[in-house]
């Protein structure tokens, strides 16, 4: 079972007597019921409801450990400090490592809350026998988006990045930053776009390349590798032949995605 150190991820420690209620009022995930040692998936959104930071939350005895993109850690610390005001909370970088194992969670690893297909995560030193690129290739093989790579900051709604299907939004918890837009999209069923994998022959198209259904725009290419990419696609334009840069591409519905997510002709 492969194990890789994820240098693209880093940690933030949020401690203090107000740590959980402070985060609970900001994030898409329920934090107040987070138990010590439990891992959940969530995000911090902009007030209009667009994705700013994807993160994992690990319950700690004295607060919460946030697993975030390394390149975004300082920005998240700054954002949380801005929200802190008079809350009794300490926010600081944490130097512990992040490891992942797949396709199952071995002993000592915490199961990935998005889907059992993603194995587990670990926040102490371990012996890696695989590269982070291997982890990314596996993630893409099961059609799971990487919000940091696939969702330009403050341009993508979390539901478009499949957070509602990957246990990243608690719609029962009440208010959080961006909650009004997120809940309205879910309640009214106004979900027009979703991140989905496309397969093809050869090297990946450029980031942002148009996906076409005939002459109609059906979406755009995001991150990927030879043979497969993630794309943000219009779910009402997936029932015909798709192309990118004149090349045929094939939609692949992930195994973790529910039966009623896409129109029946696309499923």
At 209-229, the pLDDT tens digits run: 999 999 999 999 999 999 999
- Report the sign of the C-alpha dihedral through residues 262, 216, 146, 69, in that order: negative
Q: Could you tell me the pTM of the whole model? A: 0.94
State what percent of residues in the chain have pLDDT above 90.
86
Distance CA 100, CA 132 (A): 9
Mean pLDDT is lowest, of 86-95, 123-132, 151-160, for 151-160
Rounded average pLDDT over 139-149? 94
User: Which tokens belong to 190?
Assistant: 């106004």
| Locus of tokens 């009794």 | 88
At 180-210, the pLDDT tens digits run: 999 898 887 778 999 999 999 999 999 999 9
Q: State residue 92's pLDDT score.
A: 98
At 20-64, the pLDDT tens digits run: 999 999 999 999 999 999 999 999 999 999 999 999 999 999 999
Q: Is the peptide bond before 90 cis (omega within 30 degrees of 0)?
A: no
What is the pLDDT confidence band of residue 141, given thresholds at 50, 70 and 90? very high
Q: State residue 264's pLDDT score.
A: 59
Task: Domain ranges for the chain, please list them.
Answer: 3-141, 192-251
* CATH number listed for the domain at residues 3-141: 3.30.1360.120
* CATH number listed for the domain at residues 192-251: 2.40.30
**DSSP-assigned letters across all residues of 165-218:** TTT---TTS---TTHHHHHHHHHHT---EEEEEEE-SSSPPPTTPEEEETTEEE
């Amino acid at each position: 079972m492969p194990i890789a150190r994820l240098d693209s991820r880093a940690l933030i420690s949020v401690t203090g007597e107000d740590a959980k209620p402070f985060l609970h009022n900001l994030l898409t995930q329920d934090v107040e019921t987070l138990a010590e040692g439990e891992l959940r998936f969530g995000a911090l959104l902009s007030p209009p409801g667009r994705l700013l930071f994807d993160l994992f939350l690990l319950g700690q005895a004295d607060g919460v450990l946030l697993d975030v993109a390394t390149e975004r850690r300082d920005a998240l610390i700054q954002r949380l400090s801005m929200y802190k005001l008079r809350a009794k909370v300490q926010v600081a970088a944490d130097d512990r490592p992040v490891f992942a194992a797949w396709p199952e969670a071995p002993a000592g690893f915490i199961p990935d809350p998005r889907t059992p297909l993603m194995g587990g995560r670990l926040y102490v030193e371990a012996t890696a026998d695989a590269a982070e690129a291997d982890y990314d290739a596996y993630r893409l093989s099961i059609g799971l988006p990487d919000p940091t790579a696939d969702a330009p900051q403050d341009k993508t709604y979390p539901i478009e990045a499949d957070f509602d299907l990957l246990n990243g939004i608690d719609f029962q918890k009440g208010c959080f930053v961006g909650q009004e837009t997120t809940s309205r999209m879910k309640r009214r069923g106004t979900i027009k776009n979703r991140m989905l994998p496309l397969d093809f022959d050869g090297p990946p198209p450029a980031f942002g390349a148009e996906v076409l259904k005939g002459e109609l725009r059906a979406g755009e290419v995001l991150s990927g590798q030879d043979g497969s990419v993630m794309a943000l696609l219009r779910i009402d334009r997936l029932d015909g032949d798709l192309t990118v840069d004149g090349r045929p591409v094939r939609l692949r519905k992930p195994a973790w995605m529910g039966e009623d997510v896409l129109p029946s002709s696309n499923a």
